[in-house]
Structure 1
């Protein structure tokens, strides 16, 4: 997940688009279609919170291994901004990466919406009514957590995520293991925070699902854009004085 200078910019942007597409398709798709099956009342074979957490972690592992050598494997605007803040990514490339990530996320959510439209009668409407895997707080939190809890969990856990990314991709880190460490960290983050906010730590993922969740998701979306970015930037600012010299020598 570090900056790759050799591939052409179009290839890097395409990789970020595809990686974010896979993240939303795999993680949010599991939440929409497989978390509760056949339904929430008789969830006999659904994967539940654990399955959704694993799905998000696995999508990052596979996408980072496949596409990380091309783009660095950010797949998340907060990650891009955090890496730039830490001095590990060019600020000049930030805008293009964020646009690519947003496009990939929206494409992923749109494919999920098309799949839901092809389901049994009323399936898409039921998916929207249940939130379409969007992030929320208050009455839209899976367990009713309020705004303060949402702000805290998104800020702190995104900062933790960035610390792991920065450490796992440092020059002194064990080569080849970064995607696994990062994916497992994302799984752990989801296990902690799905009940609180349905877990964002990724503004592109939040924007993508808000499109199909309805008006309430747009009204709460600012939390899941602002505070993951805040957590990532704080981690980037803290990492350089704490570990930057060690990690880059």
Structure 2
């Protein structure tokens, strides 16, 4: 979910970039949603040995570190439309490539969710139905928020959370860099944000991740997906605009 260069880079061909973004987003959704849907409460309904919310948050942090390290040198390792928008607004990514990146992220994420459901169908009787009935780790507000948060609460959380996340990315991959490797800082930031936002909205911060589960979970979840497109993109754009202003003031 980060770019590994400081300015608009001379990246590999767009085909390689698209493939890297699709693969990285596939990995992100497959690991995150798999952990949230299957492992969080395994092996029983009491979550005796399950990894819980902390385990889900750490899973995302780790998978982002891995994805950014593996695919970042090819595409920048965004894996998130809000991050791509933030980088473009900041002048650190070509607007001409935004559409291709975003499409690759949606395709990769949706395929990751589809493979998880294919695996769920090979589980015990009723496992697939239970996974979908539980919302398939989708994001929501109101009655579909884990703790019943309103749309306004979710809007604030997703906008602020994504703005903070994108700001961290822009700072640690900027000209001054970071003493700690950027993928580590970015992954750790996501872990902290998930621990804060899971009760509010199930922590999206990523329109592609939200669509990937909502499209399978059912119309009631898909009907709320717009919020997890609008507010993370808004947060990313705010972070990108702030970074551009700072750059022009230097």
Distance in 2, matches of 1:88 and 1:39, equals: 47
Aligned match of 2:105: 101
Distance in 2, matches of 1:211 and 1:39, equals: 27
Aligned match of 2:134: 130
Distance in 2, matches of 1:167 and 1:95, equals: 24
Distance in 2, matches of 1:12 and 1:176, equals: 25
Note the C-alpha offset of 1:39: 3.5
Aligned match of 1:28: 33
Aligned match of 1:235: 239
Q: Where do 5+ consecutive residues of structure 1 fail to align?
A: none
- State TM-score, norm by structure 2: 0.95
Q: Is the 8 A contact 2:11 2:75 kept in 1?
A: no
Q: Is the 8 A contact 1:82 1:162 kept in 2?
A: yes
Distance in 1, matches of 2:173 and 2:30, equals: 25
Aligned match of 1:148: 152
Aligned match of 2:58: 54
Aligned match of 1:5: 10
Q: Is the 8 A contact 1:4 1:69 kept in 2?
A: no
Q: Deviations over 1:92-118 (max 9, x none)?
A: 000000000001001100011101111
Distance 1:244 1:190, change over 3 A: farther
The runs of at least 4 aligned residues of structure 1 exceeding 4 Å deviation read: 243-246
Distance 1:176 1:188, change over 3 A: closer
Aligned match of 1:166: 170
Over aligned residues, Cα RMSD in angstroms? Answer: 1.3
The answer to which of 137-146 and 173-182 deviates more is 173-182
| SS at structure 2 position matched to 1:221 | coil
Q: Is the 8 A contact 2:31 2:63 kept in 1?
A: yes
Aligned length: 245
- State TM-score, norm by structure 1: 0.95
| SS at structure 2 position matched to 1:220 | coil
Distance in 2, matches of 1:175 and 1:137, equals: 38
Q: Where do 5+ consecutive residues of structure 2 fail to align?
A: none
